[in-house]
Amino acid sequence: MKTRKELKKLYNTLEFQKEYQYDGKDLGALCTQAGTTFHLWSPLAEEVELRLYRDGKHSECFQKIAMQKEKRGVWSYQTERYLHGVYYDYQIPWDGEIVELGDPYARGCGVNGIRSMVVDLNRTNPLQWEHDQRPKKREENIIYELHIKEFSWDESGGFSKENRGKYKAFTEEHTTLFGDGEHSTGLDYLKELGVTHVQLMPVYDYGSVDESNDEEFNWGYDPENYNVPEGSYATDTEDGAVRIREFKEMVQSLHKNGFRVIMDVVYNHMYSLESNLNKAVPWYYFRTKDDGTISNGSACGNDVASERPMCANYIVDSVLYWAEEYHIDGFRFDLMGLLDVDLMNRIRRELDVRYGRGEILVFGEPWAADETAIEGTAVPALKKHIAQLDCEIGMFCDDTRDAIKGHVFEAEIPGFVNGANGLEEKILNSVRAWSTDGRNVKAPSQVITYVSAHDNWTLWDKLEKTISDEEERIRINKMAAAMYMTCQGNLFFLSGEEFARTKDGLENTYNAPIELNRLDWERAYRYTDLRTYYQGLIALRKQLPGLCDKSEGAWKRIFEEWKTEGVVGFFVDNTGKVYESKWKTLCVIYNSTRETVSKELKEGDWEILVDSESSFRWKEGKKVGCAKAAPKSVLVLGQRSQKYEMDIWKTRF
Ligand code: CA
């Protein structure tokens, strides 16, 4: 076997690319009533053996088959047999040593992903799957990030015992707090909250949890089988068809209840270098430095070489597979800054061709943990390269996040809401989603506006570091929420932010016990006042086309802004493109001082939409002549639209 240094050289030669580039769509095992085919891309192998098993664990193989060498580095076997439910793996001799591997293109697998499984995907479809439809695309995107196990594990959620922590919990409708029949949890709760998208933390097969042990917990940022659902969330971890069917049932139920589904995908690194990809084509799919050492920009011990043509193909095919087979509506790319710009733009293009422009959301973290050994002229999809990314590729905006609530790593460094000075200009940029002329960001469609995610402290825990009094903390939490929900961009928040979710001050709970990570539904009703404030903000947001506008030039809707120390105010042109609003102009004031702030208003009738006490004021229609923002609060006023009133008049008579 060649050294890593030699392999790197070889893979980067044009000859290698020319000879071995394979664009066929039949890699992996495909199974229909007509028969079964196996294809593996392994250009350096001299022989490949396929082995078939009756289960995914320890049984002896019942058949060994020498694979046929095809062109372009592909090995194949075809049979008329219907092998649905048969498990398999490969053996490749490298330098006299036999390496066992699962199929890197596996669509199914047994417990813990050790053996791959042949699946006739038609047999995994739930009833009515062919009628499953993604909910209509809306102008506002309000994304709610959650973890399958955290969502329904706690008894307070009222889910049935056998489904707690599982995909299946998402098929349970009308669950309530301890089953009291009164306080909604689960799907009904999400509907009442008003979010439009559910973002699932890793749901592909990952390696850190023993699927046969229900006690184990991990966030799952350690992929093993990219194209198979994780087994620990299935009610049967051994029959590889069950996880597939139950995953589809979950998506179907979320769609039926009005939510689009986003998948958190981690194509930038894997659980370990013992991965099937690395065993099939040594050091092709992972970056190495010129001296042969292993690149580690992910801080997880390996970086996927997204810029290599067959690796890019692999990632694109994987994304398209989830969109097509599982009806996924959006993708959130973990450490997108380790992937390359060409790949991201290609993913965008391929999704647009199939599903319509911008229909499937694509966004990610525009950063990396460290430098990565990206090949040749490839450009990493980092924040500084946002201008080279398609307008419909978004990035998490750390500038907005930190300006509002304070430093993400330094506990005591506050943001605008909790006492920092001099952030007014940054806040105004945040309102416009950093997309004014002369900036890299082309439009608010490229920005994810948020103050909490699974990483780092919860918003509540971060605020706790700077504000000891709980009542004050609730007030500041409301203010932070009202701020980012009146900024442009796609809105995003961590599940439970709306009820003061806490992880006891721990920053990184990826492998902490489920007892700490789980959603505590009781807390949702202990912090009813805060939760209701979020509900009102979300309901109002859906009536504010001026802030939901994601198009280029949307920033011009923000006008006549002003700022003094601790105060930012602005007007919004709220006339609609896609839909009309009751209010044609908004006046918004963020007041982080301890004094009431007043602002004379232009002529016309103004009514209060949001103040420090309630985010449902817009239901009351109370008129004011002067804007008065209470200390430590956000005030939103609206001026009626005559056009809207006319349209209502017209539709009535
Ligand atoms: Ca797994």
Task: Write down the catalytic residue from 365, 392, 424, 549.
Answer: 365
pLDDT score, position 653: 47
> Would you state the structure tokens that stand for residue 63, as one six-digit string?
């058949």
Task: For residues 365 and 501, give the distance between their C-alpha atoms in angstroms, rounded to a whole number.
Answer: 23
Cα–ligand 1 centroid distance for 227 (angstroms): 12
**Residue 529 burial (CB count, 10 A):** 12
Could you tell me the distance, in angstroms and rounded to a whole number, from the CA of residue 135 to the centre of ligand 1? 30
The pLDDT of residue 651 is above 90: no
Q: Which helix (H) or strand (E) holds 247?
A: helix 240-256
Using the mean position of ligand 1's atoms as its centre, give its distance from the Cα of residue 114 in Å: 9
Q: From CA 619, how far away is CA 467, in angstroms rounded? A: 32
Which residue type, as a one-letter code, is found at position 443? A
Rounded to the nearest angstrom, the distance between the alpha carbon of 232 and the centre of ligand 1 is: 6
Q: What spacing in Å lies between the alpha carbon of 85 and ligand 1's midpoint?
A: 18
Read off the pLDDT of residues 227-270 as tens digits, 9 standing for 90 and up.
Answer: 999 999 999 999 999 999 999 999 999 999 999 999 999 999 99
pLDDT in tens, 493-512: 999 999 999 999 999 999 99
Q: Mark whether 103 is an active-site residue.
A: no
Helices (H), 356-469: 398-405, 424-431, 459-464
Rg (CA), the chain: 26
pLDDT at 387: 95
The C-alpha atoms of residue 542 and residue 534 are separated, in whole angstroms, by: 13
Alpha-carbon distance of 470 to 198, in angstroms, equals: 29
φ/ψ of 608, rounded to 5, equals -80, 130
List pLDDT tens digits, range 195-220: 999 999 999 999 999 999 999 999 99
For 515-537, what is the mean pLDDT? 98
pLDDT at 604: 83
Question: 649's torsion region: left (phi>0), alpha (psi -120 to 50) or beta?
Answer: alpha
- Nearest CA to 418 out of 400, 404, 432 is that of 404
Q: How far apart are the CA of 109 and the centre of ligand 1, in A?
A: 9
Q: List 200's β-bridge partners, or say none.
A: 146, 263
Inform me whether the pLDDT recorded for 605 exceeds 70.
Answer: yes
Tokens 């416009």 belong to which residue? 432
C-alpha to C-alpha distance for 123 and 245, rounded to whole angstroms: 8
Q: Does residue 639 surpass a pLDDT of 70?
A: yes
* Cα 350 to Cα 317: distance, rounded to the nearest angstrom: 10
Q: Which residues pair with 629 in a beta bridge?
A: 597
Contact 408, 456 (CB under 8 A): yes
Determine the distance separating the centroid of ligand 1 and the alpha carbon of 201, expressed in angstroms. Answer: 14
Residue 338 carries which side chain, given as an amino acid letter?
L
623-636 confidence digits (pLDDT tens): 998 999 999 999 99
Which residues are CB-neighbours of 592 under 8 A, at least 6 positions away? 416, 417, 418, 419, 479, 566, 567, 632
| CA 106 to centroid of ligand 1, rounded, Å | 13
CA of 373 to the centre of ligand 1 (A): 28
Indicate the pTM of the whole model: 0.97
Q: How far, in Å, from the CA of 224 to the mean position of ligand 1? A: 7
CB hemisphere CA count around 355 (13 angstroms): 24
Q: Is the pLDDT assigned to residue 649 strictly greater than 60?
A: no
* 49 CA distance to ligand 1 middle (Å): 25
Whole-number Å distance between alpha carbons of 158 and 175: 6
Structure tokens at 502: 């806490």
Averaged pLDDT for residues 112-133: 97
Two tokens at 178? 């301890």
Closest to 491 in 3D by CA, of 540, 434, 419, 541: 541
Q: What is the pLDDT of residue 546?
A: 97
Q: Are the C-beta atoms of 496 and 517 separated by less than 8 Å? A: no
Instruction: For residues 131-141, give the mean pLDDT.
Output: 94
Burial status of residue 579 (CB atoms within 10 A of its CB: 0-12, 13-18, 19 or more): exposed
Find the 233 Cα to ligand 1 centroid distance in Å.
Answer: 9
pLDDT at 36 over 80: yes
Spatial separation of the C-alpha atoms in residues 435 and 76, rounded to whole Å: 50
DSSP assignment string, 580-644: --SEEEEEEEEE-SSS-EEEE--SS-EEEEE-SS-S-GGGT--EESEEEEPTTEEEEEEEE-HHH
What are the tens digits of pLDDT across the range 574-600? 998 777 899 999 999 999 999 999 999
Q: Is 553 left (phi over 0), alpha (psi -120 to 50) or beta?
A: left
Q: Has 238 been annotated as catalytic?
A: no
Distance 218 CA to ligand 1 centre (A): 10
**Which of 154, 222, 329, 334 is labelled catalytic?**
334
Question: In angstroms, rounded to a whole number, what is the distance separating the alpha carbons of residues 375 and 307?
Answer: 7
CA 214 to ligand 1 center in whole angstroms: 12
| Average pLDDT rounded to a whole number, residues 128-142 | 95
Cβ atoms of 107 and 456 within 8 Å: the answer is no
266 Cα to the center of ligand 1, angstroms = 14
Pairing of strands 606-610, 49-53: unpaired
Residue 172 has pLDDT above 60, yes or no: yes
**How many Cβ atoms from other residues are within 10 Å of residue 39's Cβ?**
21
pLDDT for 95-105, tens place per residue? 889 999 999 99
CA of 225 to the centre of ligand 1 (A): 8
Q: Decide: 144 and 193 in contact? Cβ < 8 Å.
A: yes
Spatial strand order of the sheet with 68-69 comes to 28-32, 35-41, 74-79, 68-69
**Three-class SS state of 406:** strand
Percent of the chain at pLDDT exceeding 70: 98
Is residue 394 a contact partner of residue 447, using CB atoms and an 8 Å limit?
yes
